[in-house]
Chains A and B, each alone.
Chain A
């Protein structure tokens, strides 16, 4: 029996709130299926399963906030027998539950908080869509009441405010002692994105980066006229929704260069660098209303430009809608940031720990440029690199940036 646990979606995450199950006990799931939605400081994240099997039972109620690593559900592997049938058989060895995420080690959990109190009734989780009035829902959440333990007295069994009050055994006017810490009232539930929480998360990550990572910065100007010419030709044949943006070429070039220069692709953890085989490029995406996140595009070095464009569109849309998947949040191996047409020619990034490098692209500007001994107008972009000096030196950084520039001279080979 495997446990599906609250994953760590970044080194700064300590706990998450289970918002929704997208499966029910008895459902078959396979590796990669999205089975739950968890709310974190980064917004509502869709969580993928790392096991293949059948959902045996849920261990945590919707609405509960639990520390990273807390088992959320049991998943029975295909090969495992049902316990009833296995009565005579020695109990299956308690295999140490697989770590669900390839993500960060469980963060230092200061005082270990108990998960929510075990449900009193057998876990018949409130079926999705069970009728509960908004006022009842909020009261239950504030007081840590499991709605599945309440019988509704409203129309068609709807749970009303009075039903929750009865369950509390006291009129609402009498303040009740808080129950388990897990039930502590949270800030008012924000919808998918909580920009205040996101700002707090950005503050924590960036402050940690500047505190721990000795950054060095390099800058390199590249003639991207070949990219523009190639794109104009290529896009002329494509329908508008499939046209490529220059940013896609930049992403691909960074990914290919990162494969050749592994010192910029991976994680610095526990005082040592772990280079990554895969190249998952985090894409910095601004959130309307003020916020920033950098979810990953996976295996960018192995995608065609068309695939990459489609995935980037999808990722940006989902991110702005507040629906990012857990793997996208947890595992970028390098980040690319671009302020696009927003007007600046260069940006100097702050590395997102535990990564070791961030590449920045300014806007494309037309500049006088010397080509073959003559001056002509060319489209030029300023690339920057901020890298971790514990892992690499300026010399390697220069080669890395130059390699990106070289790759951008031959866009047809990207």
Chain B
């Protein structure tokens, strides 16, 4: 009934709320699904994503865990191998380093190591990114690291639709899927179709069409890139903005189609420059679209320093719209 009413309209909600609705929907639709992580129950989640879910679904489905990333991530992997569909929330990517062995050595390899006898259909969500003055140890953007690992999929929902829609599709995947939610997006508010549902998780999306240059990004940087594209449009430069959405696998076809049209590209990535996902995207463009290029590729990444605490230094360390504008103009030889 509620659904029918919803079909006609849109709802104003936050990214946080969209993630919560995705979790609620999954728990209702599949009895094998449960959420586990630090403070997800009584406290309602570090970023308040799961607030109210314990009351709604009870402690069987919303499970608080000890502060032991390796332990509870491993438990989630085991539950997935045994037939459940756990959603493991690691508070932030910073703490996921403690679970790295479980994710990289176990989740990513079990299908291979067991000769295809076991899969790990786990979904691991975590917050990522800088911008909240949480200092160097709590501001990492390490999703590019995870995108290096065969055996897992890595998603970066940047929009309300993707925050709402990627989780269910990820739960249907027979292998581990990591979802990175940028901390700066949780409070972002926008309109979401009331009947919004699952979305694909293997295609990049053109968020703004343009003919002069491709700006390729994902996650929290998408909005800064769109802002930069608006600024560029004011100067007569029509930038096309690509949201990668999936960092592994990368949707080469969409990237190359865009670069084939615009002939120039800048990649925006909050990871550090050296060995970054931006480096991978740039190299693929050179490999696959070299003869379409009309100028040098560009990158806007984080400065290669520990992310500083003071706001002005933190802002200076990570990609911002003005830097993206400058990089785009440089790639167009209009600096």
Contact = CB atoms under 8 A, between A and B. Distances in A.
Interface of A: 133-138, 154-155, 160-162, 188
Interface string B270-302: 000000000000000000001111110000000
Nearest to A156: B333
B291 A160 contact: no
Interface in B4-46: none
B216 to A, nearest CB: 18
A134 B333 contact: no
Contacts of B295: 133, 154, 160
B333 A135 contact: no
B263 interface: yes
Grouping DSSP codes into helix (H, G, I), strand (E, B) and loop, the A interface class, with mixed when no group exceeds half, is helix
A138 B294 contact: no
B294 A136 contact: yes
A161 B295 CA distance: 9
Grouping DSSP codes into helix (H, G, I), strand (E, B) and loop, the B interface class, with mixed when no group exceeds half, is loop
Ranked nearest first, the 3 interchain pairs of A and B with the lowest CB-CB distance are: A135-B294, A161-B294, A133-B294
B291 A154 contact: no
B263 A161 contact: yes
A160 B295 CA distance: 8
Given A133-B295, A136-B294, A154-B333, 6 more contacts: A135-B263, A135-B292, A138-B291, A154-B295, A162-B294, A188-B291
B238 to A, nearest CB: 15
A136 B294 CA distance: 7
Contact of B292 (A134, A154, A155, A160): A134
Contacts of A155: 333
Q: Which of A133, A138, A155: most chain B CB closer than 10 A?
A: A133
Q: Which of A133, A135, A162: most chain B CB closer than 10 A?
A: A135
Q: Which of A137, A161, A188: most chain B CB closer than 10 A?
A: A161
Contact of B293 (A135, A154, A188): A135
Contacts of B290: 134
A133 B295 CA distance: 6
A134 B333 CA distance: 15
A138 B294 CA distance: 10
Nearest to A161: B294
Contacts of B293: 133-135
Contacts of A137: 291
Q: Which of B290, B293, B294, B333: most chain A CB closer than 10 A?
A: B294
B319 to A, nearest CB: 24
A155 B330 CA distance: 10
A135 B296 CA distance: 11
A48 B295 CA distance: 36
A147 to B, nearest CB: 14
A340 to B, nearest CB: 34
Contacts of B294: 133-136, 160-162
B211 to A, nearest CB: 11
Interface in B171-209: none
A160 B333 CA distance: 10
A160 B331 CA distance: 12
Interface string B115-128: 00000000000000
B263 to A, nearest CB: 5
A17 to B, nearest CB: 16
B329 to A, nearest CB: 12
